[in-house]
Amino acid sequence: MRKMICLHGFTPEQQEQVRAIAAPPEWEVVFGKASEIDPQHFRDAEVVCGWSSNVVKETLHSQSKLRWVQGWSAGVDKLPLEKLEQHGVLLTNASGVHPKQMSETAFALLLGLTRNIHQAVRNQQARHWDPSGSYGEIHGKIIAIIGAGEIGVEIARLSKAFGMRVLGVRRSGKPAEFVDHMVDLNGLNGVLAQSDIVVNVLPSTDETKWLFDEARFDQFKQGACFINVGRGATVKTDALVAALQDGRVASAGLDVFEAEPLPEDHPLWTLGNVILTPHIGGATDRYNERAVSLFLDNLTFYLNGQLNEMINRVDYKKNY
């Protein structure tokens, strides 16, 4: 009997959908939290949907039966990619589940900073009426989307509703819908110099680590706003703090950080031109619904032997 483990809160209806595709007696499907599942199930598992340290501990050994892991997030930087590749494990991620909520998070941060909502909330907590401050608008601005994949293109689509000119940066440099001008990473500095708003949606890879460092922030247009909903490791935090303190970057909306949780004594907490959210950009009450739908599609491909048709196959050489 082949075995599959599904770790992420499948409803009874979703469990039946999985069993309808991977039917007994050929398949045994185990649902539950990793901490509550017998380790023997992990040792016998061919497929794991979701992730847990138990996957490494119990499956990645010389007699491993593991053949496919369906990740539950778009990023895979926290998974042991080298070990998975060594064992020939097919890895797919949940890219495509995030564009709606991630784009809303990016705009929530951007609009909050532009309309000075963050200061109004602080004043509300202090019961202090103060209409003074700087109030901008985003209509007609130039926005740069760094990492113009599915999330980036959705941000671009929404940007058009605000009448913005959209510049994009992606590894391939290939054009994308709603993006007025696209370049590859070699054109990044030129894009930064033109842009009023810079939105980072890049994954964490060897190529993107600390891409935004001191030299990069020096390329920003004076008064630009920086939004990071990609990965914290793409930004050299000390360089960002310095740029925010000396005005090279006017404001920042940050959902991700190099160190998470952000240390209590970190200067980002107290900067008045920053909005912080605790890495919740991908959170939504629709997440499991979308992720399970993706998994069911991939499960059908997997069982039919159509591995090349599976959605979001991770390239171990690129780490995404």
Architecture of domain 99-276: 3-Layer(aba) Sandwich (3.40)
For residues 146-154, average pLDDT: 96
Per-residue pLDDT of 76-135, as tens digits, reads 988 999 999 999 999 999 999 999 999 999 999 999 999 999 999 999 999 999 999 999
Read out DSSP for 155-186?
HHHHHHHTT-EEEEE-SS----TT-SEEE-GG
pTM: 0.90
Give the integer Cα–Cα distance in Å for 179 and 71. 29
pLDDT for position 62: 84
* Mean pLDDT, the chain, integer: 96
pLDDT for position 224: 98
99-276 and 2-96+285-309 share a CATH fold: yes
Domain-by-domain residue ranges, the chain? 2-96+285-309, 99-276
For the chain, the distance separating the N- and C-terminal CA atoms, rounded to the nearest angstrom, is: 32
Assigned fold of 2-96+285-309: Rossmann fold (3.40.50)
Is the pLDDT reported for residue 75 higher than 90? Answer: no
Is the pLDDT reported for residue 286 higher than 90? Answer: yes
pLDDT for position 53: 84
Per-residue pLDDT of 10-20, as tens digits, reads 999 999 999 99
Residue in 167, 163, 170 with CA at minimum distance from that of residue 180: 167
Is the pLDDT reported for residue 61 higher than 90? Answer: no
Under the banding of pLDDT at 50, 70 and 90, the label for residue 59 is confident
Residue in 225, 221, 266, 219 with CA at minimum distance from that of residue 244: 225
Residues identified as active-site? 231, 260, 279
